[in-house]
Amino acid sequence: MKEEELRRALSLFMTGVTVTTTRGDGDIPVGLTVSSLTSVSLDPPLLLVCISEASRLLDCFRRCRYFGVSVLSEDQKEVSDKFSRSCLEERFEGISWESGETGVPLLQGSVAWFECERYRTLEAGDHEIVIGRVEAGGSRDGEGLGYYKSGYVSRPKPLP
Ligand SMILES: Cc1cc2nc3c(=O)[nH]c(=O)nc-3n(C[C@H](O)[C@H](O)[C@H](O)COP(=O)(O)O)c2cc1C
């Protein structure tokens, strides 16, 4: 399968969108937009994200003790754009966030959030699989942001 065809086919698999975070040097909050979140296990509670080998943040995730996953709501498209496009130093500017129980940055306005202890990392081609054990988390009412065919999607609102 050619790379372009693989990309196109995988873009038909709808996902949600997260901002995955940790603390960098000097404890500064760092994060990037990630749609590769996958649930792995309920007992023990494990999830995974795949981080590109090209990411400037990969080393932070390789070394961190804890990382956070904020599942974006349907009105957080700009947040997703910001955490995928802007330079690292500007990503948290103008963003409301707080430290979770483990100290990981969690974005306000998210519909669900997880605080994970890094459990294992696996090299896998041009990405690294980062598995986390969920230590804390929560959710609220609201709709998550979807990603499909390389664009954002929201669940249609029921007719009044
Ligand atoms: C909707 C969406 C989903 C993304 N999912 C991932 C992902 O799962 N893993 C990843 O490494 N990059 C993903 N990216 C790309 C990164 O967000 C982007 O390449 C990164 O922020 C670039 O800067 P960095 O050097 O901080 O990694 C995604 C981008 C978007 C817009």
Q: What is the pLDDT of residues 11-22, one digit of tens each?
A: 999 999 999 999
Ligand 1 atom, smallest distance to 88 CA: 26
Q: Which residues pair with 116 in a beta bridge?
A: 67, 134
Per mean pLDDT, which range of 81-85, 110-114, 156-160 is the poorest?
Answer: 156-160
- Residue 19, token pair as written in the block: 């901002």
**Domain regions of the chain by residue span:** 3-152
- Model's pTM, two decimal places? 0.97
Q: What is the pLDDT of residues 41-93, one digit of tens each?
A: 999 999 999 999 999 999 999 999 999 999 999 999 999 999 999 899 999 99
Output the CA 26–ligand 1 centroid distance in Å.
23
- CATH topology for the 3-152 domain: Pnp Oxidase; Chain A (2.30.110)
C-beta of residue 100 within 8 angstroms of C-beta of residue 68: yes
Number of residues assigned to the chain: 160
Ligand 1 atom, smallest distance to 58 CA: 27
Verify whether ligand 1 is closer than 6 Å to residue 107 (CB atom): no
C-beta of residue 98 within 8 angstroms of C-beta of residue 21: no
In angstroms, the Cα distances linking 109 to 37, 84, 106, 132, 142 are 18, 18, 9, 22, 9
Nearest by Cα to 53 from 65, 61, 42, 45: 61
Check residue 160 and give its pLDDT. Answer: 85
Check residue 150 and give its pLDDT. Answer: 97
pLDDT grade for 127, boundaries at 50, 70 and 90: very high
Ligand 1 atom, smallest distance to 127 CA: 11
- Name the strand (E) or helix (H) holding 21: strand 18-23
Verify whether ligand 1 is closer than 6 Å to residue 19 (CB atom): no
Q: What is the pLDDT of residues 17-37, one digit of tens each?
A: 999 999 999 999 999 999 999
Output the CA 159–ligand 1 centroid distance in Å.
34
Output the CA 102–ligand 1 centroid distance in Å.
23
Query: Which of 52, 67, 77, 150 maximizes ligand 1 atoms within 8 Å of its Cβ, making it the mutation to test the pocket?
Result: 52
Q: At a CB cut-off of 8 Å and minimum separation 6, what does 133 contact?
A: 44, 45, 46, 116, 117, 119
- CA dist 96 and 113 (Å) reads 14
